[in-house]
């Protein structure tokens, strides 16, 4: 039998433009948070007019959130690719796991908001509807500001530790990562504005990667 000629294989390279995904995530995620915050009061007991401007803002935020999640996965891939052979399995597991849990919790919180929006048009008693709405909003705030925020902080701490030990990123960026992560980890606050710390950090990291694209993963 004739032997087939060997196929030339080429190593896949992460395009430099992929770092833009972090900026896209920050823009979409930050916009969604602002829309949620301006539509829903931090006090779950305050009624919301789901048929008015508040409902429109929630709908727009729910439309943007899935695309923000997709962009975040691209950003996560860029961060891991930059580590290249220096990636440690222990910190990589913690970083990847916390990042995925963070994203999953954001989707759950958004799904709860979507459920509240849809159920607002059902024929429920006023007292029952008000109680369910208050419970759903309280759960959404707990998931996004207590649990998801801390998973984002764990992701930042693990990535920052790898950067510190490998010298892959400048010390000012490592220090900024630790500072923001500690604030997110220990500040117990149901204010949605606190969650903006995470997309702010993503913008800084993505901008640096765009300016300094060379990394361990590049040949």
The string of pLDDT tens digits covering residues 119-176 is 765 554 444 456 777 777 788 888 888 888 899 999 999 999 989 888 888 999 999 9
Q: How much is the pLDDT for 98?
A: 92
Query: CB within 8 A of 19, min separation 6: which ones?
Result: 75, 78, 206, 209, 210, 213
Q: Is residue 85 predicted with pLDDT exceeding 80? A: no
Q: Is residue 103 predicted with pLDDT exceeding 60? A: yes
Q: Is residue 216 predicted with pLDDT exceeding 60? A: no
Q: How do residues 7-50 score in pLDDT, each as one tens digit?
A: 554 444 555 556 788 899 999 999 998 888 887 766 666 666 66
Q: How far apart are CA 28 and CA 208, in angstroms?
A: 19
pTM of the model: 0.80
Q: How far apart are CA 208 and CA 64, in angstroms?
A: 25
In degrees and rounded to multiples of 5, residue 112 shows phi and psi of -65, -45
DSSP the chain: -PPPPPPPP------GGGGHHHHHHHHHHHHHHHHHHHHS-SSTTS---TTSHHHHHHHHHHHHHHHHHHHHHHHHHHHHHHHGGG--HHHHHHHHHHHHHHHHHHHHHHHHHHHHHHHTTS---HHHHHHHHHHHHHHHHHIIIIIIHHHHHHHHHHHHHHHHHHT-S-HHHHHHHHHHHHHHHH-----GGGGGHHHHHHHHHHHHHHHS---TT--
Confidence of residue 1 (pLDDT cuts 50, 70, 90): very low
Q: How far apart are CA 120 and CA 48, in angstroms?
A: 10
**Mean pLDDT score of the chain:** 79
């Amino acid at each position: 039998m004739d032997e087939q000629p060997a196929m030339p294989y080429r190593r896949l390279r992460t395009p430099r433009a992929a770092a833009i995904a972090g900026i896209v995530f920050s823009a979409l995620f930050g916009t969604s948070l602002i829309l949620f915050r301006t539509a829903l009061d931090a006090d779950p007991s305050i009624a919301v007019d789901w048929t008015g401007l508040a409902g429109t803002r929630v709908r727009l935020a729910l439309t943007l959130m899935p695309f923000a999640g997709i962009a975040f996965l691209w950003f996560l891939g860029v961060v891991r690719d930059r580590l290249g052979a220096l990636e440690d399995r222990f910190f990589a597991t913690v970083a990847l796991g916390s990042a995925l849990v963070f994203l999953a919790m954001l989707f759950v919180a958004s799904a709860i908001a979507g459920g509240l929006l849809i159920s607002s048009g059902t024929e429920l008693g006023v007292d029952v509807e008000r109680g369910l709405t208050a419970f759903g909003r309280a759960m959404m705030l707990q998931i996004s500001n207590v649990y998801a925020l801390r998973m984002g902080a764990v992701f930042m701490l693990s990535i920052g530790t790898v950067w510190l030990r490998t010298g892959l990123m400048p010390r000012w960026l490592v220090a900024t990562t630790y500072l923001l992560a500690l604030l997110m980890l220990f500040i117990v606050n149901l204010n949605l504005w606190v969650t903006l710390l995470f997309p702010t950090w993503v913008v800084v990291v993505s901008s640096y990667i765009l300016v300094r694209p060379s990394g361990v993963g590049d040949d």
